[in-house]
Structure 1
């Protein structure tokens, strides 16, 4: 009986987490969409009614552009998450070379790395591999690396580090950027944590890491974030080397 109650409590906790995640996602999408379109509509009406000068209008456009980019990213993140919600998502394991993940990140973020004069390096076994779901893993690393670039100081390096221990592989993205104050770390996956701006004024909604944690659980893995304000952040993924 005790074992049955314990199992039931685990299921209830899992359902509560899923409901909170979905409610938070809906709230976030609703709030950000209203904010973006509200600001855009206000700007257009101000121009029509000539309550704002043409010079001030163009000064505000970069801010509107950043808001639009932020909301586009939110929509893309939400779409990626929704793909895992149609029925029971089934992991599609394939062999993935870790160096291929490194080259993918290096190529995709080449412009952002160049803009901030950031060098990207690999540490670990160049022959290392794991067998897992490529769609989920690529999404996870994309989001973690995007944050690393966003919050890195110009001229600082970023590393993708691989460590294999028995049947576990640990992938870490290490940056030396703004970091996160310890008091905010415990709330990093909630909807109450503050939103930070990148070192070049980039905006984010904080949604990516919430979806990342959700995807990591689908892969039967764990995520750990070690960060210190103004000293950088290390995000480590603890994954099974083989997943069926």
Structure 2
């Protein structure tokens, strides 16, 4: 019976991996086709003088936004590919949680200032987590990025740490726009809608799918609790530092 359960688990794991890769390819193909199609259309319109210079410059901000979104997709895909090829191995190290907070605080200083957001740390400033730094930094970066994206001016964002018996829980909590509960079940699939940030930011939703993949590589889990208009709490459950 145990062998049957193990086999079923492996089959489900392989199916999830296949779905992830197929979804990734689909997103890359769709976005690239859309972006380059817009470029070609603009160039041809200028060559054939079917649009005015005024219309051309009016369209540039949207083209720039599409290009930035496409670049983010490529960067996310590259981060994931590094874990799939070249014999990538998890490299656990002792990481102070508060150092992760300071790194994020420094990276997002301009975005936080632009939207008038406050970013705070809650928890034990001496707490550590033992895991792969590259993967954890990627995961937290994407979660904080979403928190900033969906927060309204003047709101607070927290990076919280709680050390339990067998795990360290790191949470990113915001009081932003949140999402309806009906969307949560599809948050890691390729059918979930693309949400727009409070300053018009957009994304393809790929980052959270890679986040879940990376959390699995770190032998941890992720939980998202969100409610429309009240905010979102994303918690990472990671194995506790070995004594």
The alignment's TM-score, normalised by the length of structure 2, stands at 0.97
The residue that corresponds to 2:203 in the other structure is: 204
After TM superposition, give the deviation of residue 47 of structure 1 in Å. Answer: 1.5
After TM superposition, give the deviation of residue 46 of structure 1 in Å. Answer: 1.2
The residue that corresponds to 1:8 in the other structure is: 7
The residue that corresponds to 1:24 in the other structure is: 23
Q: Is the 8 A contact 1:151 1:179 kept in 2?
A: yes
Instruction: Map residues 1-244 of structure 1 onto 2, 5 A cutoff.
Output: 2-86=1-85, 89-242=88-241
Q: Is the 8 A contact 2:129 2:240 kept in 1?
A: yes
After TM superposition, give the deviation of residue 41 of structure 1 in Å. Answer: 1.3
Where does structure 2 lack aligned partners over 5 or more consecutive residues? none
After TM superposition, give the deviation of residue 167 of structure 1 in Å. Answer: 2.7
Cα deviations by residue, 1:86-129 (Å, 9 ceiling, x for unpaired): 16542101110011100110010111101000010001111111
Cα deviations by residue, 1:27-83 (Å, 9 ceiling, x for unpaired): 100000001111121112112111111111111111111111111110000000001
Cα RMSD for the two superposed structures: 1.0
CA distance in 1, matches of 2:74, 2:37: 17
CA distance in 2, matches of 1:73, 1:110: 19
Length, aligned pairs only = 242
CA distance in 2, matches of 1:136, 1:242: 16
Where does structure 1 lack aligned partners over 5 or more consecutive residues? none
CA distance in 2, matches of 1:64, 1:229: 30
Q: Is the 8 A contact 1:131 1:241 kept in 2?
A: yes
After TM superposition, give the deviation of residue 3 of structure 1 in Å. Answer: 1.7
